Amino acid sequence: MKYWLDLFTPKTWTAFRLNGGTVSGFREGQRRSAERIKQGDRFLCYIVGLSRWCGILTVDSDLFVDDTPYFDDPDPFTYRFRVTPEVALDFDRSIPIFEDAIWNNLSSTRNISGRVPGWAQTANLRASLREIDASDAAVILSALERQAGELTEYALDKRDLRRIRGRKKVRAADREVFVEVPDEDAEVADEPPASPLDVRQSIKIQAHLCAIGARMGFNVWVPRADRQAVSGQLDQEDQEALIDVLPLNYDDATLKTIEQIDVIWLKKRSMARAFEVEHTTAIYSGLLRMADLLALQPNMDIRLHIVAPDDRREKVLREISRPVFSLLDRGPLYESCSYLSYEAVEEINSLEHLEFMVDAIIERYEETVEEDD
C-alpha cells in the first residue's frame, strides 16, 4: 500500500461529499502520476486555502477517464478513481496543519519556522499525487482517525469562510466567468509606504526576472525609472539584454501603458511575457495596468504575471477575479494573467542551463485562478 497527497479546494471538497464521496479526480496533466496509483492505495486529503487535513480515501478501481460533471461543470478533473472514504470531515472538523501534533512531526514541515512566506511550496503542498512516505502518512492517518471519533471543532475565521463561499459565476456576453467582490474588511485603503528594505527586495526580484529572460535569449524592458537600480543587480552579460526603446508599433496610449510595466520579455518586435512586481503597493494598480493593456490591444497574444510575496498570494488571486477584470470584452483577465511568487522567481533564477530552456518553464511555477478554484 502507498499513500498519496490528494488536494481539494473548499469547492471541490464540497462537491465530492455532495456527490456521494465515491470518486476522486485529477487533471489531464496529472495522468502520468495517476497511472502509478494501484487499488488498495490510500489518498490523504488536504484542503488548500484552509490548510487542513480532511480525509482518508481508499482506492477501489484502476484509473479511468470520465467527463461527467462531478466537481464542476464542465469538469476538469476527468482522470478518476473510485474510492471509499474511510474518513471525510466537515470544514470545521478538519485538522489545521499547524496543529503541533502534525506540524512538528511531518518531515516536510517540522523544520519550517511557522507560517513563513512560501511555507506551502516548501512543504510540497501545491500539487496532488505526491507520494507520502510511510512515517509521514502514519502521522496524518493517526490524527485523522482520532479526529473521526472525537470530532474536535477547529474554528473557521473570516478568511476561511470567504474561501468556503468562493467565487461566483456570472453570465457575460458570450460565456460564464468567475467573479469575486472582496469583502470590505479585506480591503486596505491606505497601504503603508514601502521601506528601503521593501524597495531593495522588489528591485532584486525585477533583476531576477531580467536575468532569467536574458539567459533565455529575450530582449528585456524595464521602466526607465527603475533601469539604473535593476541594471546594478545584473551581470554585464545580462545587462546587454536590456533595451532602451520598445520596438513596438502601437499607438501612444498603448505604448505609455507598456512602458510602465515592471519587466517585459521580447522576441524581436513581439512581447512574450510581462511581469508586474507588487511588494507592498496596491495589487489592484498592477492588475489595472495589465487590463488596460489587453483592452487597448484585445488581439495581443501575451502572458501576464503578477509577482508578489507568498503572503500576498490570496489577495492577488482574489483581486484578479473582480468583476471589472472578469468581464473584459476579450474574456476574463484570469485567462491571461497568473500569480508568481517571489520564491518561484528565485528558484527559476537558480536553475542551471536556463539558456537551453524555453519560457514555458514559468507554467510549472505560476498559479492561476482556475487552479485555486
Phi, psi of 49 (to 5 degrees): 90, -50
Assess contact for 92 and 154: CB atoms under 8 A. Answer: yes
Assess contact for 259 and 223: CB atoms under 8 A. Answer: yes
Alpha-carbon distance 180 to 168, whole Å? Answer: 7
Three cell numbers, residue 177: 466567468
Assess contact for 178 and 331: CB atoms under 8 A. Answer: no
Q: Where are the domains of the chain?
A: 3-150, 167-372
Q: Which of 76, 95, 68 is nearest to 12 (CA)?
A: 76
In this predicted structure, what is the pLDDT of residue 373?
38
What is the Cα 116 distance to its own chain's centre?
A: 17
Phi-psi region of 166 (alpha: psi -120 to 50; beta: other; left: phi over 0): left
User: Among 35-39, 106-110, 334-338, which is the least confidently predicted range?
Assistant: 334-338
The top-level CATH class assigned to 3-150 is: alpha beta
Average pLDDT for 314-329: 77
Helix residue ranges per DSSP H, the chain? 10-18, 31-34, 100-103, 119-122, 134-150, 158-165, 196-215, 224-231, 236-239, 252-259, 283-296, 313-319, 323-326, 342-350, 369-372
Assess contact for 247 and 264: CB atoms under 8 A. Answer: no
In this predicted structure, what is the pLDDT of residue 39?
97
Alpha-carbon distance 322 to 90, whole Å? Answer: 28
Peptide bond into 192 cis (omega under 30): no
Whether 172 has a pLDDT exceeding 80, the answer reads: no
Alpha-carbon distance 137 to 340, whole Å? Answer: 30
* Distant-in-sequence, close-in-space partners of 123: CB < 8 Å, separation ≥ 6: 97, 106, 108, 109, 112
Alpha-carbon distance 13 to 213, whole Å? Answer: 39
Confidence of residue 192 (pLDDT cuts 50, 70, 90): very low
Whether 166 has a pLDDT exceeding 70, the answer reads: no
Whether 134 has a pLDDT exceeding 60, the answer reads: yes
Average pLDDT for 193-208: 73
Confidence of residue 295 (pLDDT cuts 50, 70, 90): confident
Whether 28 has a pLDDT exceeding 70, the answer reads: yes
In this predicted structure, what is the pLDDT of residue 188?
36
Collapsing DSSP to helix, strand or coil, 177 comes out as strand
Report CA-CA distances (Å) from 66 to 28, 74, 111, 370.
11, 12, 40, 20
Q: What is the mean pLDDT of the chain?
A: 85
